[in-house]
Structure 1
């Protein structure tokens, strides 16, 4: 009888402890471990995406900077030698505008997530950088959204839009 009473007291003590400290239950600990593992996976995916994006940004900015350096040297040489004509100025203005557009192209990096319906949280991926944009039109066409969209006007005339990048993602 004494042993039974001791066992009953220990059992009652265990119930009291579980009520006073519900987060110490082994199943709650399992959920906490799952939570931490999930958070760690999200942090790793976040780090991977950021590293990839920073690499793309650095590479793109370096290319634009190199092009700008070459442009500045060419412009300085022509200015120092006083050897340029109006058509050169028009060309240089267009090249400078192109460099500015090229720098902004990096804003067209697209992201996607895996659409795995069974996953609790989707992983983020960087699709890539698009250098495609429209730059010239003939007839009734308007370019909007930083050169990404062309809209034909109200007329039924044929119209043309020229772009750069040759639709690298084949979306047009």
Structure 2
């Protein structure tokens, strides 16, 4: 029973780390966009293409916030059959987060 509890606790900790990292990553991206919008509002000078870029970034966030993120649970077939080792693999769509920081388009309000 102790071994099962250890495996469960280890897996729970790994899951918590994945969720925490994912949440922090999203918070950081939202903070970047928020800072850009605040600077643009204070300066009072932004262009239609800036608005389009911010709108596109916010639209890319929507699936991250509304859809269930995927985490794959694997059973280690090389471990003792009675208590198999469980591993987690984060299958979140990192390409969405990556595209939010794509340097191919820059506004006048990118972070310094």
Please indicate the TM-score interval, normalised by the length of the shorter structure: 0.5 to 0.7
Match of 1:20 in 2: none
Q: Which residue of 1 aligns with 2:12?
A: 50
CA contact (8 A) 1:113 1:125 kept: yes
Deviates more, 1:40-49 or 1:51-60: 51-60
Partner of 1:69: 31
Equivalent residue number for residue 86 of structure 1: 48
Equivalent position of 1:168 in the other structure: none
**Counterpart-to-counterpart distance in 2, 1:128 and 1:85:** 38
Residue 95 of structure 1: CA displacement? 0.9
Distance 1:59 1:81 in 2: 33
TM score, norm. by length of structure 2: 0.68
Consecutive unaligned residues of structure 2, counting only runs of 5 or more, are 100-112
Contact 1:60 1:106 survives alignment (8 Å)? no
Residue 82 of structure 2 aligns to a residue whose secondary structure is coil
Which residue of 68, 76, 80 corresponds with 1:114? 76
Alignment partners' CA distance in 2, 1:45 and 1:130: 23
- Please list the CA deviations of residues 15-48 of structure 1 after superposition, one character each: whole Å capped at 9, or x if unmatched: xxxxxxxxxxxxxxxxxxxxxxxx2111100100
SS of the aligned residue for 1:107 comes to: coil
Higher relative contact order (CA 8 A, sep 6+): 2
Per the TM alignment, residue 72 of structure 1 is displaced from its structure 2 partner at its CA by 0.2
Uncovered stretches (5+) of structure 1, i.e. residues with no partner: 1-38, 135-163, 165-172
SS in 2 for 1:125: strand
More strand as a share of residues: 1
| Residue-pair matches, total | 98
Which is worse superposed, 112-121 or 66-75? Answer: 112-121
- Could you tell me how far 1:118 is from its partner in structure 2? 6.6
